Amino acid sequence: MITDDKMDQLCINTIRTLSMDAVQQANSGHPGTPMAMAPVAYCLWQHFLRYDPEHPLWPNRDRFVLSMGHASMLLYSILHLSGVKDIDKEGNILNRSTIGTDDIKNFRQLGSKTPGHPEYGIAAGIETTTGPLGQGAANSVGMAIAGMWKAGHFNRPDVELFDYSVYALCSDGDMMEGVSGEAASIAGHLKLSNLCWIYDDNKISIEGNTSLAFSEDIASRFKGYGWRVVRVRDANDLKMLARAFRQFRNTNDRPTLIIVSSHIAFGSPNKQDTAAAHGEPLGEDEIILTKRSYGWPEDAKFLVPDGVMDHFRKGVGRRGRKLHTSWGKKFDTYRNKYPEPAGLLDSMLNSRLPDGWDADLPSFPTDAKGVASRVSSGKVLNAIAKHVPWLMGGSADLAPSTKTLLTFEEAGGDFSAANPKGRNFHFGIREHAMGGILNGLALSKVRPYGATFLIFSDYCRPAVRLSALMEIPDIFIFTHDSISLGEDGPTHQPVEHLASLRAMPGLITIRPADANEVVEAWKVIMQLRNAPAALMLTRQNIPTLDRTKYAPASGLAKGAYVLAGPENGNPDIILLASGSEVSLCIDAFEQLKSQGIKARVVSMPSWELFEKQSQEYRDSVLPSSVKARIAAEQGATLGWERYVGPVGQIIGMHTFGASAPFKDLQKKFGFTVERVVAAAKAVMGIWV
């Protein structure tokens, strides 16, 4: 009979050998870290994690985030051995394992469920896409915030629905990346006692020992952030690991960092940690020696010994099933006693908007002076948030400028350790962590938004990219969207940023032309379920167009629409623009019309939405027979050529901006009615 200690070791070595074999068969990957951290993952999953493998989307499950995504075989092995069930795109549980033996054998192969770094949505149990170091750590902070908010909003004194914990496994690389410092700082400030990072202190990176570039005192650093710090001197010491996890569970006033010292042990004593930890298979000879040291059959590949999976079922499986069943009974009681919040919770978990979510959307009257789209957006945001309790967010210290503060009483004020019900988040000047936290919130079914100036989209771009890769509905609000922000000058004036965001697959960018297009933009954004959105807004006032004279703003939903044009027949020229330049083109249109020139104005707030329309619709907006076209946008011209064609002209930015009042800048860089009219006539002269 196998004793408990021997079974523990057998399970740990199964994780290790599966990782070795998968990397060797793929001839690619990172075997060392999964081998070193196998005891840590085993101890957490088998003895502490509140997780039901039969129901991997159980709302109150603990979250396990592998921020060290290069150690993906550690996660795949655990999911396989724990028997985590698969789910389909609608969230239905399937009668099969999410990671089977064949999936492990196909590690890093085309179309497999086991890519080189874990990817959200490919297999159940993968809580987020990790790869760029530090991102998973930041995501875990968002997940922990979501857990605290759900508890504050939905728990009742007699029925506690949410009390889950979030665990993130981090490497030296995670600790070096700046985003983890930003995320850890805000986690300490918010006293997220449901958050535990486990730091694999193995002192190894690709170039060699971390002492080459990394010598700080991590424990002191995290104590300074306000974290509890616990040390485990040997990653193989299950008793000390269990003690550390218990210390975390007993801490209720701050997040916890568990520093685990590990060493990657191989069969041959002179095997270098560096090579095995970062991207090289061990080689068949080394695998044989290592397996021999484990007492493992040397020629066995992908072996799961008898009793291993049954042992996991009796551990994490039995505990998770019991906890989940108990939670289900609680939720039944909750549903009966508190039907209204229960209904809202159902809607939130299933990504459904509540009935009447758009009941109070404003309509803006015609106004030549107009209003900045950041201001109109703030009004729309508040109107929607009143009816969608899980719509929440904030800004990277710019809420007064981005107009993203929720001001109605039901918003609950500012989220904090003392007020977990609050829906206004203060991210501080931490754009990168803000993006990562938004991803963690969205993965937890909260609908998050985060705001900053468009120029600082550079600082949160990695997280924006991952939101697009994961197809989660983050809302990124980018104000001060052009050189017309004025006197702050070129360091704050975005030029290439909109073009670079448009280049990102899966991201919906929207740059509305006036206040009523802002309303329509928010309608589109709120109904997105599988894509993030970036909303570009002005600092300066822009006219609110007369919609009795021009086409309704509802055309925004199709990405581009005919705003103005001749009553009959095709136009002689098409003027295309987004955002603040649409009213410029309207003024040019009126001048051309007075001169007997038939022009059409196309408002084009979202290329991505336009490209989703039928070819018939796109041709109706931009008929191929009309070659004369002008595009105007206060940004880089890259990409507009697909819409203006080979002989059209683009009025845009080819340099950085300058520091001056915005009207002076518009004249300097050619964003004037006179320039548009002259360009239109020049283009028409080629074709008339």
Amino acid at 154: F
Contact call for residues 578 and 511 (beta carbons, < 8 A): yes
Beta-strand relationship, 166-170 and 63-66: parallel
Q: Rounded distance, CA 538 to CA 484, Å?
A: 8
Beta-strand relationship, 195-201 and 85-87: unpaired
Amino acid at 233: R
How is residue 243 written in tokens? 């003690």
Q: Rounded distance, CA 501 to CA 534, Å?
A: 8
HSE-up of residue 269 (Cα within 13 Å, Cβ side): 0
Number of H helices, E strands in the chain: 26, 22
The distance from CA 476 to its chain's CA centroid, rounded to whole angstroms, is: 10
Q: Over 232-267, what HEC string results?
A: ECCCCCHHHHHHHHHHHHCCCCCCEEEEEECCCCCC
Contact call for residues 271 and 280 (beta carbons, < 8 A): no
Please provide residue 134's backbone torsions phi and psi, each rounded to the nearest 5 degrees: 95, -25
Please provide residue 636's backbone torsions phi and psi, each rounded to the nearest 5 degrees: -60, 145
DSSP-based three-state secondary structure for 298: coil
DSSP-based three-state secondary structure for 636: strand
How is residue 327 written in tokens? 């939670």
Contact call for residues 92 and 69 (beta carbons, < 8 A): no
Q: Rounded distance, CA 433 to CA 135, Å?
A: 8
**Dihedral (CA of 223, 442, 417, 44) sign:** negative
How is residue 382 written in tokens? 């508040």
Residue 431 designated active-site: yes
Q: Rounded distance, CA 566 to CA 564, Å?
A: 7
Contact call for residues 585 and 575 (beta carbons, < 8 A): yes
Cα-based distances in Å from 440 to 32, 128, 177, 214:
28, 8, 18, 28
Beta-strand relationship, 541-544 and 367-372: antiparallel
Candidates 119, 182, 431, 608; catalytic one: 431
* Nearest C-alpha neighbor of 82 from the set 63, 104, 97: 97
Q: Could you give the residue numbers annotated as active site?
A: 431
